[in-house]
Structure 1
Amino acid sequence: MPKSRIELRFGGTGGQGLVLSAKLLADALALEGRHVAQSQTYEPTSRGGFCNADLVVASGEVDYPLPIAFDHLVLLDSIAVKPSWPRLKAGALVIADTRLCPDLPDGDVVPHRLPLSRTAIELGSERVTNIVALGALIELTGICKPKSIEQVVRASSPRGFLDLNLDALAAGYALAKAPVAAAAS
């Protein structure tokens, strides 16, 4: 049974597709009957300034639409650490890109440092780093079914990006499974 309220943030810089990732996840959760409130913050700089997209997910009506303390944090750039870190719940899951967010503060979190942007570049476009991260988040948290997010990605992707986005999602699942598989062996 999913928690009754989950708060999460995609944090990074403008132009990284953070708002798109949050929208895709919100749509997938809505398909599954969850209630979602989405908000975002960004600096006036269109690229390079701090940006975040937050979701509040509930099994019933969302009583307060803004996050108070994050259960999950996805960091695609170190610029998002300072404004996001103090708002983490104890034991929060943190997914951080190893290339663009190499250093994390100490804290009572479950960190997953993954080569998100490097994986996207290897797939052919750094622009899908957000989709790789989305796949990793779904695999690590089980927040929604892979079938739901794949349906939303299929419906939302421009034809020329569909295969790349699906590959990025699959790569994110695989990245999230790899550390678990390595620890288990």
Structure 2
Amino acid sequence: MPKSRIELRFGGTGGQGLLLSAKLLADALALEGRHVAQSQTYEPTSRGGFCNADLVVASGEVDYPLPMEFDHLVLLDKIAIKPSWPRLKAGALVIADTRLCPELPEGAGQRHQLPLSRTAIELGSERVTNIVALAVLVAMTDICKRKSVEQVIRASSPRGFLDLNMDALAAGYALASAPAVLAAS
């Protein structure tokens, strides 16, 4: 049975596909009958400024659409640490890119620094780091079914990116189940 209310953030910089990751996850959750409120903030700089996409997920109506404390935090750039870290719940799951977030503050329950962007680069495009990260989040939390995420990605990916996005999704699932990651849990 899913938790009644889950709050999460995808944080990083503009241009990393954070809003897309949140939308894909929100659509997958909606397919499963969950209620989702999505919000985002970004600095006026379109690329390189702080950006985040937040989701509040509930099994019933979302009573308050903005997150107060994050159950899950996905960090794709160190710029998102300072505004996000103080809002972590005790025991929160943090997934951070090792290359762009080399150091994390103390605290948080489960901290996983993973080669998200390096994995995307090895697939052929850093632009799919957000999809790798989304897959890691889904695999580590079981927030929704993998089948739902795959269905949403297949339906919304431009034809030229479908194979790359599906490869990124598979790579993220594999990354989340790697022995080193499981040992850190």
TM-score (norm 1): 0.97
Shift of 1:109: 2.2
- Residue 44 of structure 1 corresponds to 44
1:130 pairs with 2:93: no
Contact 2:94 2:108 in 1 (8 A): no
Give the aligned residue type for 1:60. G
Structure 2 residues not aligned, in runs of 5+:
none
Contact 2:93 2:108 in 1 (8 A): no
1:92 pairs with 2:92: yes
How far, CA to CA, are the matches of 1:181 and 1:62 in structure 2?
32
Partner-residue secondary structure (3-state), 1:120: helix
Contact 2:69 2:89 in 1 (8 A): yes
How far, CA to CA, are the matches of 2:178 and 2:61 in structure 1?
36
- Residue 183 of structure 2 corresponds to 183
Partner-residue secondary structure (3-state), 2:127: helix
1:62 pairs with 2:62: yes
1:25 pairs with 2:25: yes
- Residue 144 of structure 2 corresponds to 144
CA displacement 1:5-58 (0-9 Å, x = unmatched): 000000000000000000000000000000000000000000000000000000
Shift of 1:181: 7.1
Structure 1 residues not aligned, in runs of 5+:
none
How far, CA to CA, are the matches of 1:2 and 1:56 in structure 2?
13
TM-score (norm 2): 0.97
- Residue 7 of structure 1 corresponds to 7
Shift of 1:108: 3.3
1:171 pairs with 2:171: yes
How far, CA to CA, are the matches of 2:81 and 2:143 in structure 1?
22
How far, CA to CA, are the matches of 2:166 and 2:179 in structure 1?
21
CA pair 90-174 structure 1, distance change in 2 beyond 3 A: same
CA pair 19-181 structure 1, distance change in 2 beyond 3 A: closer
Shift of 1:123: 0.1
CA pair 181-38 structure 1, distance change in 2 beyond 3 A: closer
How far, CA to CA, are the matches of 1:171 and 1:179 in structure 2?
14
CA pair 179-79 structure 1, distance change in 2 beyond 3 A: farther
CA displacement 1:99-142 (0-9 Å, x = unmatched): 00010000132101100000000000000000000000000000
Give the aligned residue type for 1:54. D
Contact 2:97 2:114 in 1 (8 A): yes
How far, CA to CA, are the matches of 1:176 and 1:23 in structure 2?
21
How far, CA to CA, are the matches of 1:104 and 1:181 in structure 2?
17
- Residue 111 of structure 1 corresponds to 111
